[in-house]
Amino acid sequence: MTVKSSLITSVAVSVVMITSVQAKTFNAASFLGIDRDANNMISKDEASYYRNTYFSTMDGNSDGSVSFKEYAIANQLIDTASGKPAEMEPPKEFKAVDTNKDNQLSLDEFLAHGTVLFQQLDKNKDSQISKEEYVSPGL
């Protein structure tokens, strides 16, 4: 009885571990959302279209730049209990994109960062990102 249930537990634990490893290395939902012509490759045009759409989604007041507050809302860094954006320093992910350090992400900065991410993911440098090359957190 005890042996049997501990065996079941260890099988369940390994299934969970495998699932989380896959989620970390490949995000199917994200890949499919970017691969608009469904040829299992992400072209530079598809990547740039995705970044443009992503930027518009984050730019809550549509003024052409994404403030840290807008970024925090889009990335759910909000303290949901108070409903206020978390009082925190912008994370390194935000700072990496904000190259002129004005605490606002311009579309140019956001697209330039997208190009960097694309080049990092495109291991074989054929200007396409395959499913094998696409890893979390992606573009």
Angle between helices 107-121 and 44-58 (to 10 degrees): 140
Hey, which residues does 106 pair with through a beta bridge?
A: 65
Q: Does 126 bind Ca ion (CB under 5 A)?
A: yes
- Verify binding: residue 98, Ca ion, rule CB under 5 A: yes
Distance of alpha carbon 43 from alpha carbon 137, whole angstroms: 17
- The answer to whether residue 35 forms part of the interface with Ca ion (CB under 5 A) is yes
**CB-based burial label for 38 (10 Å; 0-12, 13-18, 19+):** exposed
Binding test (CB under 5 A) with Ca ion, winner from 39, 119, 120, 136: 39
122 lines the binding site for Ca ion (CB under 5 A): yes
Interface with Ca ion (CB under 5 A), residue from 90, 94, 128, 135: 128
Stretch that binds Ca ion, among 13-21, 67-75, 79-87, 114-122 (CB under 5 A): 114-122
